[in-house]
Structure 1
């Protein structure tokens, strides 16, 4: 079954109700959903039939669930044997770095503190063999409860088939880009980021 045929209101595993399609990318769909058993919002990835990296994403999600750091987005469930394979994650309520920068660049101490927490989170993930490899302002969240959350660790790399020979430096460069964006309100890369202007060219 193709996930593109699934409409809001559909159910997975008898408990997850898909409420709103947030995005689609290369055969994977990202939903805001409700865990009806625990009455809480969740994020759900579903995958089209034949999506080549479903197993990789589910394995990465299961590995991510074992990272002992509250700043890593929690993984609640993952199943690649279901009719519609899925991964269920924490739905983070708050503002992304991109949202925060819509109001302008951050004060240096706040920018440094936010990115330092992201760096500590990634260091914990790296110690378990997991990497992000796709750090953008949308992946760094400031939750309603005032906590930093890094979304997409492990899962993003698997979704996009990212496997560089030296993943550590890729994440280090990603952190540098986040810090530059936080301080300047510009994105120092060719890939456009919502709400951010590209860095000025010399």
Structure 2
């Protein structure tokens, strides 16, 4: 079967995954003879082009702007962007990225929780990636185990910054579906308050809580119940986190200003 080729160069292979902002494929770079990951950026609402073409154009521009900013980071714990395929304003861009083959943190946690020391090491790596992104004005908005990939040597890579291109105050699309993962979303973002990098730190804290405890403290049977729990219920003290426990609880405070600053957290 003939493979689809993007930009006359990248042969699409198997689909690796997908989320609110598009699909990710394994691809073969016919120019450099290497495997890469190719992200097909798509809006969360497929009808956006027809119903709100101005918003669709704005989304394309934001994706391109933030992809270029990320490409300049060259950070060891931020996924490397090799190339951007921009087919014009009538099409969404494709992001050509390094292929990380060690699976995700979600895959790792399916085998059981992490020791606190291992979680702390990973947390510092993800924090360093967030600090680099925040320094160039990019918030991630969807820090969760599925978006932390593991290289073969165990080092972590934060990926899927595409969600940061969507800045709707309610965090809802026109179809009413969530942008982001409610169980890892900071309370202030659920309430529609954007623009604070500390919101990414809540998500980091919740991810590390899940990593060491092996369970999510506020996940409920439905999305609405989970959102209500994140907004209103206290986070129970972790039982397996050891000396990491106070750090997690400091991050998981509902007042963004009360969370530790990145340098203190590190």
Unaligned runs of 5+ in 1: 1-6, 193-200
**Residue of structure 1 equivalent to 2:75:** 69
2:72 aligned counterpart, secondary structure? coil
TM-score computed with the length of structure 1 as normaliser: 0.79
Mean alpha-carbon deviation: is it higher for 36-45 or for 128-137? Answer: 36-45
Moved over 6 A (4+): none
- Provide the residue aligned with 1:29 in structure 2: 23
Residues 172 and 108 (structure 1), Cα distance of their counterparts in 2 relative to 1, 3 Å cut: same
Is the CA contact (8 Å cut-off) linking 1:58 and 1:87 kept in structure 2? no
Deviates more, 1:102-111 or 1:139-148: 139-148
Alignment root-mean-square deviation, CA? 2.9
1:18 counterpart = 2:19: no
Bigger relative contact order (CA 8 A; separation at least 6): 1
Map 1:78-97 to 2 at 5 A: 78-82=84-88, 85-97=93-105
**Aligned position for 1:39:** 33
Provide structure 2 residue ranges, at least 5 long, that are not aligned to the other structure: 170-192, 222-234, 237-266
Distance 1:15 1:131, change over 3 A: same
Larger Rg: 1 or 2?
2
Is 1:106–1:183's contact at 8 Å kept on the other side of the alignment? Answer: yes
TM-aligned CA deviation for residue 28 of structure 1: 3.1
> Equivalent of 1:157, from 164, 173, 181?
164
What residue is the counterpart of 1:121 in the other structure?
A: 129
Aligned to 2:182: none
1:78 to 1:118, Cα distance in 2 relative to 1, 3 A: same
Bigger proportion of residues as helix = 2
Partner secondary structure for residue 187 of structure 1: coil
Rounded Cα–Cα distance in structure 1 between residues aligned with 2:220 and 2:24 = 21
How much does 1:104 deviate? 0.9
Offset of residue 79 of structure 1: 3.1
- TM-score, normalised with respect to structure 2: 0.62
SS at match of 1:76: strand
Flag the 1:110–1:80 CA change in 2: closer, same or farther, 3 A.
Answer: same
